[in-house]
Amino acid sequence: MKRILLISSNITTEPYPVYPLGLAVIAAALANAGHEVEQFDFLVSGEAEELLAVRIAAFAPDYVCVSIRNLDNCDSLSVTSYPENARRIVAVVRGGSTAPVIVGGPAFSIMPEELLAFTGADYGIIGEGERLVCDLIRDLSGGSTLPSLLRGEGLLHGAEMVSPLYSGQMISFYLEKSGMINLQTKRGCPHGCIYCSYPSLEGTAYRCRDPKAVVDDLERIKTEHGVESFFFTDSVFNDSDGHYLAVVEEIIRRDISLRWCCYMRPEGVGRREIALMKRAGLYAVELGTDAACDTTLRSLGKGFSFADALEANRACVAERLPCAHFVMFGGPGETMATVTEGLENLEKLEHTVVFAFSGIRILPGTPLLAQAVRDGILAEGASLREPVYYLSPGVDVKEMNNMILASFKNRRDRIFPPSAGQERLSIMHRFGYRGLLWDSLIKFPKL
């Protein structure tokens, strides 16, 4: 048995603080393997390096694992980058321990070589870590010499995904700050959005957990920690195979009283499905619409039309379910004409919130990177550790942003730039509101 300290390096609170689910999953895998595990959240600590140093001294870990969840906040108008924070944490560990430092997490897996060198960690795990971290610690403890970067040979099946081991202290913090805790029902994404890293991180097919195991987790977390509000963090909750409906039906069958929200694709979901999910406790949904007209939707590889998004919105309104659309302007194929068309289309989305973004973060390994090189936005081989955004050569960015601002002016249900929405939500939080918060901006017509 080894003593292992797990550290979440995430400090972003936009749009709300998010429980580090990946850390809880790794904690469970290590605990199941017989190790003594402690979890430390840098955000919960108030970003206090001295508290981390005290924890290291008290626990005297044999190994330290650092999770990097985000590269940045994906807002071209108010950029915040996070790898430097992970490097600071590794330096604190080095100052108080000789334990090997292992780094992983979704952000790390996007650019592992660069981030391993930048943070100064000893080892890096690319992709899913449950199996790899246990194997790595076993082999290192046995005296094996291993490469500094490790990638698994295959993805886990749904039945191999362990239930998260949550920290009571951390749950208390996130319930106070956001009012909800995260859980995952499946991994992977079969869709071909050109800017997205999910397929490379989680695979190009859905790998689903047993609905009974998912609902077991919900019941356990509610019983052990008093949690009644959840966010399902699946890349797409409403998969075309209907696994999500099996989860929903299991919640209804067990008659569990809880509230939850999720990310959904605005396609293939109608009023019947929305009504069923509401019966199971769905209280709001975030829609990955991502573009505002068919031209830009095609350019992003979305695989659906704006009419699909409009129909999904109508289904939510019919069931009086708050929904929010997240839309990016300035991507491939964007022109001033498509900006105008897109803003006109957004006017058709009634009784909903729209969050707009200017530009699209370019990530390694995505088709958008190749597009950006072809369009001369960045040089081939350029570093992407610091944020670089795709902004179409076909738009005047300042004029585009001004058009969005003018279209959204004086509308509480239209948010641009993202930082303005964050300021609004922060005010609501100070007045005691918890949860998504944006759902309270929607007013449905009287019945």
Taking residues 217-246, what's their average pLDDT?
Answer: 97
Q: Which residues contact 120 (CB under 8 A, 6 or more apart)?
A: 87, 90, 91, 94, 101
Q: Are residues 128 and 59 part of one domain?
A: yes
Nearest-angstrom CA–CA distance, 284 and 259: 9
| Domain region containing 315 | 179-441
Band of pLDDT at residue 13, cut at 50, 70 and 90? confident
Band of pLDDT at residue 246, cut at 50, 70 and 90? very high
Band of pLDDT at residue 190, cut at 50, 70 and 90? very high
Q: Is the pLDDT of residue 161 over 80?
A: yes
Please tell me the predicted confidence (pLDDT) of residue 23.
97
For residue 241, give the 3-state DSSP assignment. coil
Contact 19, 171 (CB under 8 A): yes
Q: Is the pLDDT of residue 256 over 90?
A: yes
Backbone angles phi, psi at 104, to 5 degrees: -160, -160
Q: Are residues 133 and 208 part of one domain?
A: no
Q: Give the CATH number of the domain where residue 63 resides.
A: 3.40.50.280
Q: Are residues 391 and 244 part of one domain?
A: yes
Closest CA to 261 of 234, 236, 223, 232: 232
The single-letter code of the amino acid at 179 is: G
Please tell me the predicted confidence (pLDDT) of residue 446.
81
Strand ranges (DSSP E) for 359-413? 360-361, 389-390
Q: Are residues 389 and 281 part of one domain?
A: yes
Count of C-beta atoms within a 10 Å radius of residue 210: 16
Please tell me the predicted confidence (pLDDT) of residue 430.
72
Nearest-angstrom CA–CA distance, 11 and 410: 31
Q: Which residues pair with 4 in a beta bridge?
A: 37, 63
Q: Are residues 242 and 133 part of one domain?
A: no
Backbone angles phi, psi at 197, to 5 degrees: -100, -5
Q: What is the pLDDT of residues 104-152, one digit of tens each?
A: 999 999 999 999 999 999 999 999 999 999 999 999 999 999 999 999 8
Q: For tokens 């194929």, what's the residue? A: 333
Contact 188, 49 (CB under 8 A): no
Q: For tokens 């370019």, what's the residue? A: 362
In a domain, 417, yes or no: yes
Q: Where are the alpha helices (DSSP H) in 122-268?
A: 130-141, 168-177, 198-202, 211-225, 243-254
What is the SS3 assignment for 95-146? HHCCCCEEEECHHHHHCHHHHHHHHCCCEEEECCCHHHHHHHHHHHHCCCCC
Token pair recorded at residue 267:
């396609």
Question: What CA dihedral angle connects 184, 188, 189 and 195, to 10 degrees?
Answer: 100
Count of C-beta atoms within a 10 Å radius of residue 323: 26
Q: What is the pLDDT of residues 259-294, one digit of tens each?
A: 999 999 999 999 999 999 999 999 999 999 999 999
Q: Are residues 285 and 409 part of one domain?
A: yes
Nearest-angstrom CA–CA distance, 127 and 410: 43
In a domain, 243, yes or no: yes
Nearest-angstrom CA–CA distance, 147 and 59: 27
In a domain, 296, yes or no: yes
Q: Are residues 220 and 142 part of one domain?
A: no
Q: Are residues 217 and 255 part of one domain?
A: yes
Q: Give the CATH number of the domain where residue 370 resides.
A: 3.80.30.20
Taking residues 35-63, what's their average pLDDT?
Answer: 96
Band of pLDDT at residue 344, cut at 50, 70 and 90? very high
Q: Are residues 279 and 413 part of one domain?
A: yes
Taking residues 339-349, what's their average pLDDT?
Answer: 98
In a domain, 159, yes or no: no
Q: Are residues 429 and 294 part of one domain?
A: yes
In a domain, 123, yes or no: yes
For residue 329, give the 3-state DSSP assignment. strand
In a domain, 381, yes or no: yes
Give the single-character DSSP code of 42: T
In a domain, 49, yes or no: yes
Q: Are residues 135 and 242 part of one domain?
A: no
Q: Is the pLDDT of residue 157 over 80?
A: yes
Total tally of structural domains belonging to the chain: 2
The single-letter code of the amino acid at 340 is: T
Q: Are residues 222 and 88 part of one domain?
A: no
Last-in-domain residue among 136, 151, 166: 151
In a domain, 398, yes or no: yes
